[in-house]
Structure 1
Amino acid sequence: MVTGWARGAALYEATVRHTRLRPITHRLRHRTFYWLLDIDDPPRPPAWLRPLARFRTRDHITAQGQTLRDSLTEFAAAEGIDLTGCRIRMLAHARAFGHVFNPLTVYWCRHPETGPRCVIAEVHNTYQGRHRYLLTPDARGRAETAKDFYVSPFLPVAGDYRMTLPEPADRLHLAVAYDLDGEPTLVATVTGRRRPAGTRALLAATIRHPFNTLAVTAGIRAHGIALWARGLPVHRREPEREVHSEHTY
Protein backbone atom coordinates (compact mmCIF):
# COMPACT_ATOMS: atom_id res chain seq x y z
CA MET A 1 0.00 0.00 0.00
CA VAL A 2 1.22 3.51 -0.78
CA THR A 3 1.76 5.51 2.39
CA GLY A 4 0.45 9.07 2.68
CA TRP A 5 3.70 10.93 2.00
CA ALA A 6 4.22 9.01 -1.28
CA ARG A 7 0.63 9.14 -2.51
CA GLY A 8 0.50 9.15 -6.32
CA ALA A 9 4.18 8.22 -6.77
CA ALA A 10 5.84 4.96 -7.77
CA LEU A 11 9.29 3.40 -7.66
CA TYR A 12 10.90 1.53 -10.53
CA GLU A 13 13.84 -0.76 -9.82
CA ALA A 14 15.58 -0.78 -13.15
CA THR A 15 18.48 -2.00 -15.23
CA VAL A 16 20.35 0.51 -17.40
CA ARG A 17 22.31 -0.78 -20.38
CA HIS A 18 24.60 1.16 -22.75
CA THR A 19 26.11 -0.37 -25.85
CA ARG A 20 28.65 1.57 -27.93
CA LEU A 21 28.73 0.12 -31.44
CA ARG A 22 31.59 2.03 -33.07
CA PRO A 23 34.40 2.81 -33.59
CA ILE A 24 34.96 0.31 -30.80
CA THR A 25 32.45 -1.90 -29.01
CA HIS A 26 31.90 -1.23 -25.33
CA ARG A 27 29.08 -2.26 -23.00
CA LEU A 28 28.03 -1.27 -19.52
CA ARG A 29 25.18 -2.34 -17.27
CA HIS A 30 24.07 -1.21 -13.84
CA ARG A 31 21.10 -1.49 -11.51
CA THR A 32 19.35 1.53 -10.02
CA PHE A 33 15.92 2.84 -9.04
CA TYR A 34 13.82 5.78 -10.19
CA TRP A 35 10.83 7.73 -8.94
CA LEU A 36 7.77 8.48 -11.04
CA LEU A 37 5.90 11.43 -9.57
CA ASP A 38 3.50 14.27 -10.28
CA ILE A 39 5.56 17.48 -10.29
CA ASP A 40 2.72 19.34 -8.57
CA ASP A 41 2.45 16.80 -5.76
CA PRO A 42 5.89 15.24 -5.18
CA PRO A 43 6.55 12.81 -2.33
CA ARG A 44 7.27 14.54 0.97
CA PRO A 45 9.05 12.00 3.19
CA PRO A 46 9.09 12.46 6.96
CA ALA A 47 12.24 14.11 8.32
CA TRP A 48 13.98 10.85 9.19
CA LEU A 49 13.63 9.60 5.60
CA ARG A 50 14.69 12.78 3.80
CA PRO A 51 18.38 11.80 3.64
CA LEU A 52 17.21 8.94 1.38
CA ALA A 53 14.85 10.89 -0.90
CA ARG A 54 14.55 14.61 -1.38
CA PHE A 55 13.12 16.45 -4.39
CA ARG A 56 14.47 19.92 -5.14
CA THR A 57 13.55 22.24 -7.98
CA ARG A 58 17.15 23.36 -8.45
CA ASP A 59 18.15 19.79 -9.33
CA HIS A 60 16.39 20.41 -12.65
CA ILE A 61 16.36 23.28 -15.15
CA THR A 62 14.71 26.29 -13.54
CA ALA A 63 15.51 29.99 -13.49
CA GLN A 64 15.76 31.91 -10.24
CA GLY A 65 12.35 31.98 -8.55
CA GLN A 66 10.66 29.56 -10.97
CA THR A 67 8.71 26.48 -10.10
CA LEU A 68 9.41 23.38 -12.16
CA ARG A 69 5.97 23.63 -13.75
CA ASP A 70 6.59 27.24 -14.77
CA SER A 71 9.94 26.29 -16.26
CA LEU A 72 8.49 23.42 -18.30
CA THR A 73 5.50 25.51 -19.39
CA GLU A 74 7.76 28.33 -20.58
CA PHE A 75 10.02 25.91 -22.44
CA ALA A 76 7.11 24.16 -24.19
CA ALA A 77 5.46 27.49 -25.08
CA ALA A 78 8.65 28.60 -26.82
CA GLU A 79 8.25 25.48 -28.98
CA GLY A 80 4.58 26.22 -29.70
CA ILE A 81 3.00 23.81 -27.21
CA ASP A 82 0.57 24.91 -24.49
CA LEU A 83 0.78 22.92 -21.25
CA THR A 84 -2.13 24.72 -19.55
CA GLY A 85 -4.20 22.18 -17.63
CA CYS A 86 -1.77 19.31 -18.30
CA ARG A 87 -0.70 16.82 -15.70
CA ILE A 88 3.08 16.47 -15.79
CA ARG A 89 4.70 13.31 -14.47
CA MET A 90 8.46 13.07 -14.03
CA LEU A 91 10.77 10.04 -14.00
CA ALA A 92 13.99 10.86 -12.14
CA HIS A 93 16.35 10.01 -9.33
CA ALA A 94 15.76 11.65 -5.97
CA ARG A 95 18.54 13.39 -4.08
CA ALA A 96 19.99 10.88 -1.59
CA PHE A 97 22.73 11.40 1.00
CA GLY A 98 23.13 14.93 -0.39
CA HIS A 99 23.85 13.82 -3.96
CA VAL A 100 21.83 13.51 -7.13
CA PHE A 101 22.68 13.01 -10.79
CA ASN A 102 20.10 12.48 -13.52
CA PRO A 103 21.65 11.69 -16.92
CA LEU A 104 18.09 11.65 -18.29
CA THR A 105 14.92 13.00 -16.71
CA VAL A 106 11.69 12.42 -18.63
CA TYR A 107 8.51 14.51 -18.28
CA TRP A 108 5.22 13.21 -19.71
CA CYS A 109 2.72 16.03 -20.28
CA ARG A 110 -0.88 14.86 -20.63
CA HIS A 111 -4.09 16.87 -20.84
CA PRO A 112 -7.07 15.19 -19.08
CA GLU A 113 -9.37 15.79 -22.07
CA THR A 114 -7.17 15.66 -25.15
CA GLY A 115 -4.54 13.15 -24.01
CA PRO A 116 -0.73 13.31 -24.44
CA ARG A 117 0.53 16.77 -25.33
CA CYS A 118 4.31 16.20 -25.47
CA VAL A 119 7.31 14.58 -23.80
CA ILE A 120 10.26 16.59 -22.53
CA ALA A 121 13.64 14.90 -22.18
CA GLU A 122 16.06 16.71 -19.87
CA VAL A 123 19.70 15.68 -20.20
CA HIS A 124 22.45 16.42 -17.68
CA ASN A 125 26.14 15.84 -18.27
CA THR A 126 28.90 15.39 -15.69
CA TYR A 127 30.14 18.97 -16.32
CA GLN A 128 26.97 20.44 -14.72
CA GLY A 129 25.49 21.19 -18.13
CA ARG A 130 21.72 20.79 -18.64
CA HIS A 131 19.59 20.75 -21.75
CA ARG A 132 16.01 19.91 -22.79
CA TYR A 133 14.54 18.32 -25.89
CA LEU A 134 10.84 18.72 -26.68
CA LEU A 135 9.36 15.64 -28.34
CA THR A 136 5.98 14.79 -29.83
CA PRO A 137 6.13 10.99 -29.93
CA ASP A 138 3.88 8.72 -31.96
CA ALA A 139 1.44 6.25 -30.39
CA ARG A 140 4.31 3.92 -29.49
CA GLY A 141 6.29 6.66 -27.77
CA ARG A 142 8.83 7.08 -30.59
CA ALA A 143 10.36 10.39 -31.64
CA GLU A 144 13.50 11.71 -33.30
CA THR A 145 15.54 14.83 -32.65
CA ALA A 146 18.91 16.26 -33.61
CA LYS A 147 21.62 16.12 -30.95
CA ASP A 148 22.68 19.63 -29.94
CA PHE A 149 24.14 19.17 -26.44
CA TYR A 150 27.53 17.87 -25.27
CA VAL A 151 27.11 14.68 -23.26
CA SER A 152 30.21 12.51 -23.66
CA PRO A 153 33.80 13.54 -24.44
CA PHE A 154 33.86 10.66 -26.92
CA LEU A 155 30.94 11.90 -29.02
CA PRO A 156 30.58 15.12 -31.04
CA VAL A 157 27.66 17.54 -30.82
CA ALA A 158 26.24 16.19 -34.06
CA GLY A 159 24.01 13.37 -35.25
CA ASP A 160 20.50 12.35 -34.23
CA TYR A 161 18.65 10.63 -31.42
CA ARG A 162 15.89 8.09 -31.93
CA MET A 163 14.02 7.92 -28.64
CA THR A 164 11.34 5.52 -27.47
CA LEU A 165 9.76 6.95 -24.31
CA PRO A 166 6.33 5.44 -23.60
CA GLU A 167 4.75 6.57 -20.36
CA PRO A 168 5.49 3.92 -17.70
CA ALA A 169 2.76 1.69 -16.33
CA ASP A 170 3.51 -1.65 -14.65
CA ARG A 171 6.68 -1.79 -16.74
CA LEU A 172 9.30 0.80 -17.58
CA HIS A 173 10.97 0.49 -20.98
CA LEU A 174 12.84 3.46 -22.41
CA ALA A 175 15.37 3.45 -25.24
CA VAL A 176 17.65 6.05 -26.80
CA ALA A 177 19.57 5.26 -29.97
CA TYR A 178 22.23 7.67 -31.23
CA ASP A 179 23.13 7.81 -34.93
CA LEU A 180 26.18 9.63 -36.25
CA ASP A 181 26.63 10.23 -39.99
CA GLY A 182 23.56 8.04 -40.53
CA GLU A 183 25.14 5.05 -38.77
CA PRO A 184 24.03 3.50 -35.44
CA THR A 185 26.65 4.47 -32.86
CA LEU A 186 25.21 3.96 -29.37
CA VAL A 187 22.09 2.41 -27.82
CA ALA A 188 20.91 2.93 -24.23
CA THR A 189 17.93 1.25 -22.57
CA VAL A 190 16.22 1.48 -19.19
CA THR A 191 13.95 -1.39 -18.16
CA GLY A 192 12.21 -1.95 -14.86
CA ARG A 193 9.12 -2.91 -12.92
CA ARG A 194 6.81 -0.68 -10.92
CA ARG A 195 6.77 -0.93 -7.12
CA PRO A 196 4.36 0.84 -4.76
CA ALA A 197 6.10 3.87 -3.27
CA GLY A 198 6.33 4.35 0.47
CA THR A 199 8.54 3.85 3.49
CA ARG A 200 9.07 0.10 3.14
CA ALA A 201 9.75 0.30 -0.60
CA LEU A 202 12.21 3.19 -0.22
CA LEU A 203 14.14 1.44 2.56
CA ALA A 204 14.30 -1.80 0.57
CA ALA A 205 15.45 -0.04 -2.61
CA THR A 206 18.10 1.90 -0.68
CA ILE A 207 19.45 -1.28 0.89
CA ARG A 208 19.73 -2.86 -2.57
CA HIS A 209 21.19 0.32 -4.13
CA PRO A 210 22.74 2.21 -1.19
CA PHE A 211 24.58 4.86 -3.23
CA ASN A 212 22.14 5.12 -6.08
CA THR A 213 23.26 8.19 -8.01
CA LEU A 214 26.82 8.23 -6.67
CA ALA A 215 27.20 4.83 -8.30
CA VAL A 216 25.91 6.24 -11.60
CA THR A 217 28.42 9.10 -11.52
CA ALA A 218 31.29 6.82 -10.53
CA GLY A 219 30.36 4.34 -13.25
CA ILE A 220 30.31 7.03 -15.94
CA ARG A 221 33.79 8.19 -14.95
CA ALA A 222 35.19 4.67 -14.71
CA HIS A 223 33.91 3.72 -18.15
CA GLY A 224 35.21 7.02 -19.53
CA ILE A 225 38.70 6.15 -18.29
CA ALA A 226 38.38 2.71 -19.88
CA LEU A 227 37.38 4.21 -23.24
CA TRP A 228 40.22 6.75 -23.09
CA ALA A 229 42.68 3.94 -22.30
CA ARG A 230 41.49 2.12 -25.41
CA GLY A 231 42.38 5.13 -27.52
CA LEU A 232 38.94 6.53 -28.31
CA PRO A 233 39.33 10.13 -29.60
CA VAL A 234 38.16 12.96 -27.32
CA HIS A 235 35.95 15.81 -28.57
CA ARG A 236 36.52 19.20 -26.98
CA ARG A 237 33.68 20.62 -24.89
CA GLU A 238 32.38 24.16 -25.11
CA PRO A 239 31.18 25.43 -21.69
CA GLU A 240 27.41 25.44 -21.15
CA ARG A 241 25.43 27.89 -19.05
CA GLU A 242 23.83 26.21 -16.03
CA VAL A 243 20.53 27.64 -14.78
CA HIS A 244 18.86 26.62 -11.52
CA SER A 245 16.96 28.06 -8.60
CA GLU A 246 17.12 27.77 -4.85
CA HIS A 247 13.47 26.75 -4.45
CA THR A 248 12.51 23.40 -2.98
CA TYR A 249 9.27 21.50 -3.39
Structure 2
Amino acid sequence: MFLNLDELPRLFGKSWLWSAKRPNLAWFKRDDYFGNPEQSLKTSIEELVLQKTGQLPAGPICLLTNMRYFGYCFNPVSFYYCFKTDGKTLQAIVADITNTPWKERHAYVLDCTKETSINKLQRFNFSKEFHVSPFMPMDIEYDWRFSTPTDQLNVHMRNLRGGSKMFDATMALERKPINSLNLAWVLLAYPFMTLKVIFAIHWQALWLWLKKVPFISHPQKISADHH
Protein backbone atom coordinates (compact mmCIF):
# COMPACT_ATOMS: atom_id res chain seq x y z
CA MET A 1 0.00 0.00 0.00
CA PHE A 2 1.16 3.53 -0.83
CA LEU A 3 -0.47 5.84 1.69
CA ASN A 4 -0.46 9.60 2.14
CA LEU A 5 -0.15 9.98 5.91
CA ASP A 6 -2.32 13.11 5.85
CA GLU A 7 -5.19 11.04 4.45
CA LEU A 8 -5.04 8.15 6.94
CA PRO A 9 -7.93 9.23 9.18
CA ARG A 10 -10.42 9.10 6.29
CA LEU A 11 -8.71 6.81 3.78
CA PHE A 12 -10.27 3.51 4.79
CA GLY A 13 -13.79 4.82 5.09
CA LYS A 14 -14.16 3.44 1.57
CA SER A 15 -14.35 -0.15 2.87
CA TRP A 16 -15.69 -1.64 6.11
CA LEU A 17 -13.02 -4.38 5.90
CA TRP A 18 -10.19 -1.85 6.29
CA SER A 19 -9.44 0.34 9.29
CA ALA A 20 -6.87 2.71 10.76
CA LYS A 21 -8.51 2.86 14.20
CA ARG A 22 -9.56 -0.67 15.19
CA PRO A 23 -8.76 -4.33 14.44
CA ASN A 24 -10.02 -5.44 11.04
CA LEU A 25 -9.17 -7.80 8.20
CA ALA A 26 -6.80 -5.09 6.96
CA TRP A 27 -5.59 -2.82 9.74
CA PHE A 28 -3.21 0.12 9.74
CA LYS A 29 -2.07 -0.24 13.35
CA ARG A 30 0.02 2.69 14.55
CA ASP A 31 2.06 0.47 16.89
CA ASP A 32 3.45 -1.42 13.88
CA TYR A 33 5.34 1.64 12.65
CA PHE A 34 8.17 3.97 13.54
CA GLY A 35 8.22 6.13 16.65
CA ASN A 36 6.07 6.67 19.70
CA PRO A 37 2.61 5.16 19.07
CA GLU A 38 1.12 8.00 21.12
CA GLN A 39 2.44 10.43 18.50
CA SER A 40 1.20 10.73 14.94
CA LEU A 41 3.29 8.76 12.47
CA LYS A 42 3.85 11.82 10.30
CA THR A 43 5.19 13.82 13.24
CA SER A 44 7.55 10.97 14.17
CA ILE A 45 8.97 10.85 10.64
CA GLU A 46 9.23 14.64 10.42
CA GLU A 47 11.22 14.77 13.66
CA LEU A 48 13.53 11.97 12.48
CA VAL A 49 14.25 13.66 9.14
CA LEU A 50 14.87 16.98 10.88
CA GLN A 51 17.27 15.31 13.31
CA LYS A 52 19.25 13.54 10.56
CA THR A 53 19.25 16.18 7.80
CA GLY A 54 18.66 19.46 9.60
CA GLN A 55 15.58 20.13 7.45
CA LEU A 56 11.95 19.55 8.32
CA PRO A 57 9.96 17.87 5.53
CA ALA A 58 7.94 20.66 3.95
CA GLY A 59 5.33 18.68 2.01
CA PRO A 60 3.32 15.46 2.22
CA ILE A 61 4.79 12.18 3.44
CA CYS A 62 3.73 8.95 1.73
CA LEU A 63 4.32 5.48 3.13
CA LEU A 64 4.98 2.33 1.10
CA THR A 65 4.27 -0.61 3.39
CA ASN A 66 2.78 -4.04 3.92
CA MET A 67 -0.05 -3.53 6.40
CA ARG A 68 -1.42 -5.86 9.06
CA TYR A 69 -3.68 -8.43 7.38
CA PHE A 70 -5.86 -10.97 9.18
CA GLY A 71 -4.14 -10.09 12.45
CA TYR A 72 -0.59 -10.61 11.18
CA CYS A 73 2.01 -7.95 10.42
CA PHE A 74 5.43 -8.65 8.93
CA ASN A 75 7.24 -5.70 7.45
CA PRO A 76 10.90 -6.23 6.52
CA VAL A 77 11.04 -2.64 5.27
CA SER A 78 8.71 0.35 5.00
CA PHE A 79 9.64 3.36 2.88
CA TYR A 80 8.58 6.91 3.71
CA TYR A 81 8.71 9.32 0.78
CA CYS A 82 9.02 12.89 2.09
CA PHE A 83 8.17 15.52 -0.52
CA LYS A 84 8.87 19.21 -0.81
CA THR A 85 5.99 21.70 -0.79
CA ASP A 86 5.16 21.01 -4.45
CA GLY A 87 4.22 17.44 -3.53
CA LYS A 88 6.28 16.11 -6.45
CA THR A 89 9.96 16.68 -5.61
CA LEU A 90 11.54 14.31 -3.10
CA GLN A 91 13.23 15.88 -0.09
CA ALA A 92 14.11 12.68 1.79
CA ILE A 93 13.40 8.96 1.89
CA VAL A 94 13.27 7.00 5.14
CA ALA A 95 13.86 3.25 4.98
CA ASP A 96 12.54 1.75 8.22
CA ILE A 97 13.92 -1.78 8.49
CA THR A 98 13.04 -4.61 10.87
CA ASN A 99 15.15 -7.75 11.11
CA THR A 100 14.27 -11.41 11.48
CA PRO A 101 14.19 -13.06 13.97
CA TRP A 102 15.37 -10.36 16.38
CA LYS A 103 12.48 -7.94 15.71
CA GLU A 104 14.74 -4.90 15.99
CA ARG A 105 14.20 -1.69 14.03
CA HIS A 106 16.56 0.73 12.33
CA ALA A 107 15.79 3.72 10.10
CA TYR A 108 18.08 4.97 7.33
CA VAL A 109 17.37 8.59 6.38
CA LEU A 110 18.37 9.35 2.78
CA ASP A 111 18.72 13.04 1.91
CA CYS A 112 17.48 13.54 -1.65
CA THR A 113 18.81 17.11 -1.78
CA LYS A 114 22.41 15.87 -1.59
CA GLU A 115 22.39 12.82 -3.86
CA THR A 116 22.74 12.61 -7.61
CA SER A 117 20.05 11.41 -9.97
CA ILE A 118 20.91 8.72 -12.54
CA ASN A 119 18.37 7.85 -15.25
CA LYS A 120 15.70 9.64 -13.18
CA LEU A 121 16.57 7.50 -10.14
CA GLN A 122 17.79 8.90 -6.82
CA ARG A 123 20.98 6.99 -5.97
CA PHE A 124 22.42 6.48 -2.49
CA ASN A 125 25.67 4.76 -1.52
CA PHE A 126 26.39 4.16 2.16
CA SER A 127 27.71 1.59 4.63
CA LYS A 128 25.53 -0.98 6.34
CA GLU A 129 24.74 -0.07 9.96
CA PHE A 130 22.16 -2.66 10.99
CA HIS A 131 22.26 -6.46 11.15
CA VAL A 132 19.41 -7.82 9.04
CA SER A 133 20.13 -11.28 7.66
CA PRO A 134 22.12 -14.02 9.44
CA PHE A 135 23.58 -14.84 6.03
CA MET A 136 24.89 -11.35 5.28
CA PRO A 137 27.94 -9.80 7.05
CA MET A 138 28.14 -6.26 8.39
CA ASP A 139 31.00 -5.08 6.14
CA ILE A 140 28.61 -4.31 3.30
CA GLU A 141 28.16 -1.23 1.13
CA TYR A 142 24.64 -0.41 0.01
CA ASP A 143 23.79 0.93 -3.45
CA TRP A 144 20.12 1.91 -3.43
CA ARG A 145 18.15 3.61 -6.20
CA PHE A 146 14.64 5.03 -6.01
CA SER A 147 12.32 6.50 -8.60
CA THR A 148 10.13 9.44 -7.69
CA PRO A 149 6.67 7.91 -7.16
CA THR A 150 4.27 8.72 -9.98
CA ASP A 151 2.12 6.15 -11.80
CA GLN A 152 5.14 3.85 -11.47
CA LEU A 153 7.37 3.21 -8.47
CA ASN A 154 10.74 1.46 -8.61
CA VAL A 155 13.29 0.50 -5.97
CA HIS A 156 16.61 -1.16 -6.81
CA MET A 157 18.84 -2.37 -3.97
CA ARG A 158 22.33 -3.86 -4.24
CA ASN A 159 24.66 -5.11 -1.50
CA LEU A 160 28.38 -4.91 -2.31
CA ARG A 161 31.33 -6.42 -0.46
CA GLY A 162 34.82 -5.59 -1.59
CA GLY A 163 33.37 -4.31 -4.84
CA SER A 164 31.60 -7.61 -5.57
CA LYS A 165 27.82 -7.88 -5.69
CA MET A 166 26.35 -10.12 -2.99
CA PHE A 167 22.67 -9.26 -3.32
CA ASP A 168 20.48 -7.58 -5.93
CA ALA A 169 16.74 -6.96 -5.73
CA THR A 170 14.32 -4.81 -7.71
CA MET A 171 10.74 -3.85 -6.90
CA ALA A 172 8.58 -2.39 -9.67
CA LEU A 173 5.05 -1.28 -8.83
CA GLU A 174 2.18 0.30 -10.74
CA ARG A 175 -0.15 2.67 -8.93
CA LYS A 176 -3.86 1.93 -8.66
CA PRO A 177 -6.42 4.18 -6.96
CA ILE A 178 -7.56 3.38 -3.44
CA ASN A 179 -11.28 2.75 -3.80
CA SER A 180 -13.75 0.21 -2.45
CA LEU A 181 -13.34 -2.11 -5.45
CA ASN A 182 -9.53 -2.20 -5.31
CA LEU A 183 -9.49 -2.59 -1.52
CA ALA A 184 -11.80 -5.60 -1.78
CA TRP A 185 -9.68 -7.02 -4.60
CA VAL A 186 -6.51 -6.85 -2.49
CA LEU A 187 -8.09 -8.97 0.26
CA LEU A 188 -9.42 -11.49 -2.25
CA ALA A 189 -6.27 -11.72 -4.37
CA TYR A 190 -3.73 -11.67 -1.54
CA PRO A 191 -5.56 -12.95 1.55
CA PHE A 192 -2.43 -14.41 3.13
CA MET A 193 0.24 -12.05 1.81
CA THR A 194 1.86 -11.58 5.23
CA LEU A 195 2.11 -15.32 5.85
CA LYS A 196 3.43 -15.78 2.32
CA VAL A 197 6.23 -13.25 2.95
CA ILE A 198 7.12 -14.90 6.28
CA PHE A 199 7.21 -18.34 4.65
CA ALA A 200 9.26 -17.12 1.68
CA ILE A 201 11.92 -15.54 3.89
CA HIS A 202 12.27 -18.63 6.08
CA TRP A 203 12.28 -20.89 3.02
CA GLN A 204 15.09 -18.81 1.53
CA ALA A 205 16.99 -19.04 4.82
CA LEU A 206 16.63 -22.84 4.79
CA TRP A 207 17.85 -22.99 1.20
CA LEU A 208 20.93 -20.91 2.08
CA TRP A 209 21.61 -23.11 5.11
CA LEU A 210 21.40 -26.26 2.98
CA LYS A 211 23.91 -24.68 0.59
CA LYS A 212 26.20 -24.28 3.64
CA VAL A 213 26.28 -20.51 3.39
CA PRO A 214 28.00 -19.33 6.61
CA PHE A 215 25.61 -18.33 9.41
CA ILE A 216 26.53 -14.95 10.90
CA SER A 217 25.46 -14.29 14.47
CA HIS A 218 24.07 -10.97 15.63
CA PRO A 219 26.98 -8.55 16.32
CA GLN A 220 25.74 -7.99 19.88
CA LYS A 221 25.88 -11.73 20.56
CA ILE A 222 29.39 -11.92 19.10
CA SER A 223 30.46 -9.02 21.34
CA ALA A 224 28.92 -10.66 24.42
CA ASP A 225 30.63 -13.98 23.67
CA HIS A 226 34.02 -12.24 23.65
CA HIS A 227 33.57 -10.68 27.11
Matched ranges for 1:121-200 at <5 A: 121-126=95-100, 127-137=102-112, 138-139=116-117, 140-200=121-181
Q: 1:49 to 1:133 in 2, by over 3 A?
A: closer
* 1:63 alignment partner in structure 2: 36
State the secondary structure of the residue aligned to 2:46.
helix
Deviation at 1:113, TM superposition (A): 4.7
Matched ranges for 1:25-104 at <5 A: 35-42=1-8, 43-45=11-13, 46-50=15-19, 51-63=24-36, 65-104=38-77
State the secondary structure of the residue aligned to 1:108.
strand
CA deviations on 1:50-88 (whole Å, 9 max, x unpaired) are 433211221112125222122212211221332253211
User: Matched residues in 2 for 1:142 and 1:85: separation?
Assistant: 21
Deviation at 1:239, TM superposition (A): 5.7
Aligned alpha-carbon RMSD (Å): 2.0
User: Matched residues in 1 for 2:140 and 2:95: separation?
Assistant: 17
Q: 1:84 to 1:91 in 2, by over 3 A?
A: closer
Deviation at 1:170, TM superposition (A): 1.6
Deviation at 1:217, TM superposition (A): 1.0
Q: 1:160 to 1:141 in 2, by over 3 A?
A: same
1:232 aligns to 2:213 (yes or no): yes
User: Matched residues in 2 for 1:80 and 1:94: separation?
Assistant: 28
Q: 1:64 to 1:56 in 2, by over 3 A?
A: closer
Contact persistence 1:38–1:87 (CA under 8 A)? yes
- Larger RCO (alpha carbons 8 Å, 6+ apart): 1
* 1:108 alignment partner in structure 2: 81
User: Matched residues in 2 for 1:58 and 1:215: separation?
Assistant: 22
User: Matched residues in 1 for 2:197 and 2:220: separation?
Assistant: 22
User: Matched residues in 1 for 2:217 and 2:62: separation?
Assistant: 35
User: Matched residues in 1 for 2:49 and 2:41: separation?
Assistant: 12
Write the letter of the residue equivalent to 1:132.
A
Q: Whose helix proportion is higher, 1 or 2?
A: 2
Contact persistence 1:206–1:212 (CA under 8 A)? no
Deviation at 1:181, TM superposition (A): 2.0
Q: How high is the sequence identity, in percent, across the aligned residues?
A: 27
CA deviations on 1:2-23 (whole Å, 9 max, x unpaired) are xxxxxxxxxxxxxxxxxxxxxx
* 1:201 alignment partner in structure 2: 182
Deviation at 1:117, TM superposition (A): 1.4
* 2:93 alignment partner in structure 1: 119
* 2:224 alignment partner in structure 1: none
Contact persistence 1:89–1:108 (CA under 8 A)? yes
State the TM-score, normalizing by the size of structure 1: 0.76
Contact persistence 2:12–2:18 (CA under 8 A)? no
Deviation at 1:236, TM superposition (A): 0.5
Give unpaired runs (5+ residues) of structure 2.
222-227
Give unpaired runs (5+ residues) of structure 1.
1-34, 241-249
CA deviations on 1:85-139 (whole Å, 9 max, x unpaired) are 3211111111110111121211111121594211111111122111111112433
Segment drifting more, 112-121 vs 70-79? 112-121
Q: Count matched residues.
A: 206
User: Matched residues in 2 for 1:179 and 1:222: separation?
Assistant: 23
